[in-house]
Chain A
Amino acid sequence: MDPVAAKYIGAGLAAIGMGVAAVGVGTIFGNFLSGALRNPSAADGQFGRAFIGAALAEGLGIFAFLVAIILLFVA
């Protein structure tokens, strides 16, 4: 295969990882919201934890993005 074509295909495949991270972040905030609507008084205390979880889930999507950027502009 043409190496340049393989580079772009690889970058496109890496983009799938970002979509999967979006599922993870959506699950976290969706569950946080459904929990917060059941017990609004406890929601403020868990706000930071929701963001920690979202940051950790998003971090893996960011790695996928990094792979795409490295393939496109560095490799």
Chain B
Amino acid sequence: MAAEGKAIDPIHQFEIHPIVNFSVGGVDLSFTNSSLFMVIILAAVSILMLWGTSSKSLVPGRLQSAAEMAYEFVASTVRGTAGESGMKFFPLIFSLFMFVFFSNVLGLIPYAYTVTSQIIVTFALAALVILTVLLYGFYKHGTHFLHLFVPSGVSPVLMPFIVLIEVISFVSRPVSLSVRLFANMLAGHITLKVFAGFVTMLLGAGAWAALAPLPLAAIVLLTGFELFVAILQAYVFAILTCVYLNDAIHPGH
């Protein structure tokens, strides 16, 4: 791929271009294509939830059942993972799920920009989750929250190692939570672009152009797979948020 690196650059699609240049005191606050898609995502989520819940009919219409399904899906995930006391975090988890879901799915539209393919966006979301866990854990349980790192029933000889492992696993949570979402989106979009590159390369290679429909068919299949990954990663992000919040609600398992 390095030889054709200039002609077909699979990374090019992730570039951020400023649409409206704007800076305050040397800090670049330009309105970029990433910001534009965040606004679009916010508008899409708001339209779905506000219009979907505006009529409140007993027999729901299409938009209302979509809104109700989204609500019920996230609510059952929260109840199943963090228990009934986890429902006080439902607004946070629902917002995260809908934001990630819509940015993943809208990003699959050709020429659209995938907000979650930027590590800074996913890391900001993961940092929000981990800070919520830490603040709520210490606010609710005080120093008892530290029992999270000290499992009961471990022999004193092993204890330092177990505590070390638990601390490392806790510290790597925001990293893995953000990198998982970001890298899945990045990998999927790069794969689609590489296969699209195969189509153009074959078309420009004389008689080999007869084979061009093969990678094109692969793109169709991969797009379907990417749709599955987009939905799955939104679900995984939401359920891992619930698992981490469950540690803050019920520490010292």
Partners in one complex: yes
Q: Is the CB of A62 within 8 A of B183?
A: yes
* From A8, A52, A59, residue with most partner B Cβ within 10 Å: A59
Interface size on B, as a range, is 10 to 19
Q: Is the CB of A48 within 8 A of B184?
A: no
Q: Tally the A-B contacts, defined by beta carbons under 8 Å.
A: 40
B2 interface residue, CB < 8 Å from A? yes
Q: Is the CB of A59 within 8 A of B81?
A: no
Q: Is the CB of B179 within 8 A of A48?
A: no
Q: Which of A48-75 contact B (CB under 8 A)?
A: 48, 51-52, 55-56, 58-59, 62-63, 65-66, 69, 73
Q: Would A8 and B186 be within 8 Å (CB), given that A48-B239, A62-B179 are in contact? A: no
- Count of residues in A whose CB is under 8 Å from the partner chain: 15
Residues of B within 8 A of A58 (CB): 180
* Selected contact of A65 from candidates B2, B81, B183, B240, CB within 8 Å: B183
Q: Is the CB of B239 within 8 A of A59?
A: no
Residues of A within 8 A of B77 (CB): 48
Q: Is the CB of A55 within 8 A of B186?
A: no
Q: Would A48 and B180 be within 8 Å (CB), given that A69-B186, A73-B11 are in contact? A: no
Q: Which of A4-50 contact B (CB under 8 A)?
A: 8, 45, 48
In angstroms, Cα B7 to Cα A64, docked, is: 27
* Selected contact of B236 from candidates A55, A63, A65, CB within 8 Å: A55
Residues of A within 8 A of B190 (CB): 69
Residues of B within 8 A of A48 (CB): 77, 80-81, 239
Residues of B within 8 A of A62 (CB): 176, 179-180, 183-184, 187
B145 interface residue, CB < 8 Å from A? no
In angstroms, Cα B175 to Cα A62, docked, is: 11
Determine the residue in chain A with the shortest Cβ distance to B236.
A55
Chain B residues within CB distance 8 Å of chain A = 2, 11, 77, 80-81, 176, 179-180, 183-184, 186-187, 190, 232, 235-236, 239-240, 243
13 A-B pairs in the complex with CB atoms less than 8 angstroms apart:
A48-B77, A48-B81, A48-B239, A51-B232, A52-B239, A52-B243, A55-B240, A56-B176, A59-B180, A62-B180, A66-B179, A69-B183, A69-B190
